[in-house]
Chain A
Amino acid sequence: MNVALPLATAPCGTRRALTVSVHAGMLRPIVEPSGASDAELARLVLAARGDARSAEAELCARFAPRVRLYGLRHLRSEDAAADLVQQVLIITIQKLRRGEVREPEQIASFVLGVARRVARDFGRAAHRTELADPEVVPAVAAAIRDPEPLAADHLARCVGELGERERTVVLMTFYQEQSAAEIATALDVKEGNVRVMRHRALARLRTCMGLDEGAS
């Protein structure tokens, strides 16, 4: 017999619906992977039940973009970031399968910790992971997707609508990869002014490109 429980909301993230099955007098949650919290997914993998593989795939899909963004910030290379994603997800899934993740509620911190360790060891032979279980790799590979590029013509129009200074600042930030301090020196303005121009420009570009929260 299945019983629906009220919706619960996590402070930051997944809204979930819980359905429980009653079997032999015990309540057992039936969690749809797409509607489960990260912690619930981790618990499913740890429990190694029938739906564990779906939970693994969902975990990979959720954490791949997070690790990629971390990798881009710290390794400054798309290829290195993709490599980082693969390694971190393989390590995470393998550790979950082996029951080596003691606190599934802290799975996000766990993955971040793995990302930090692997990124730190990047370039050294030591960072290479052991060969992955062939079953893990497809789930990881499926989760690694390059984000769809923005429509160039549309973006060009939006960038063209920025003020001159804002446009200069975003080009120096994202093409020249200059810090706010470097841009401030080059343009003879205060660093704080550069940051404000940059924030304003990105806010306007998000809206113009339909990427802000209200647009979806």
Chain B
Amino acid sequence: MTAFACTAPLPLAALVDYDAGDLPDLEAARVEEHFFACAACTERLAAIRRLGAGIAGLVRSGGVTASVTSELVERARAHGLVLRSYRVAPGETVACTASPDDDFVVIRLGVDTTPDETVDLETTITLVESGGTDRIVSRDVTVDRERREIVILNAGDRVRAMPRSRWSIEARVAGPGGERRLGPYVLDHAPWREHAG
């Protein structure tokens, strides 16, 4: 079905909020009255729904890496996903791996921050065999302040693909009082077949 142009298209924000169930009833009703009479806006809303379904599917298949809340991790576990979890304190080194069955590897970094502070993570990955390094910066990651930790969901396939390597993570905490650093949090990663146990 071809999407014909709409001369008064619904704003993208309204479509997103409608799909998420975040519009008040009256506004939602207006959105419905519009797209029921408009093929173009129906297609636009359908595209949002496809994206939403796709994103949920990525989590269900262990196909996304992100900083998340502990609640998301527990929900994934309740949905039957297999999650391997490692908690690392500042200055600590932890051996880690990913088994063939792991949908996700969850890294929990112990942090203590205030609500007005933001946290960037700088991760240096050093390959043991070649000595090669890679650096990843993740800005403004989510902090679970109640549990005092940063929870990073790592796609299982991505971790399994990594050769033996050392992951050194530093947290850069910035706030009104200035900047401070926490860490390093070190993970010694080995592929499953090489992992000691």
Contact = CB atoms under 8 A, between A and B. Distances in A.
Contacts of A188: 115, 145
Contact of A211 (B13, B40, B50, B55): B50
Given A174-B51, A180-B17, 15 more contacts: A12-B6, A12-B34, A13-B6, A15-B4, A38-B37, A66-B35, A72-B49, A147-B46, A149-B54, A159-B55, A164-B140, A168-B69, A188-B145, A202-B48, A211-B47
6 A-B pairs with the lowest CB-CB distances in the bound complex, closest first: A108-B37, A12-B38, A150-B54, A174-B52, A174-B55, A211-B47
B38 to A, nearest CB: 4
B182 interface: no
Nearest to B31: A73
Contacts of A171: 55, 59, 64, 66, 68, 72
Interface string B10-52: 0011001111111000001000111111111111111111111
A205 interface: yes
Contacts of B12: 199, 202-203, 206
Interface of B: 1, 3-4, 6-8, 12-13, 16-22, 28, 32-61, 63-69, 71-72, 75-76, 115, 138-142, 145, 155
Interface string A56-99: 00000111011001101100000000000000000000000000
A152 B54 contact: yes
A104 to B, nearest CB: 13
A198 to B, nearest CB: 6
Contact of A175 (B17, B59, B115, B142): B59
A4 B105 CA distance: 65
A69 B64 CA distance: 26
Interface centre among B54, B67, B145 (most CB of A within 10 A): B54
B47 to A, nearest CB: 4
Given A72-B49, A171-B55, A206-B47, A14 B39 contact: yes
Given A188-B115, A202-B48, A165 B140 contact: yes
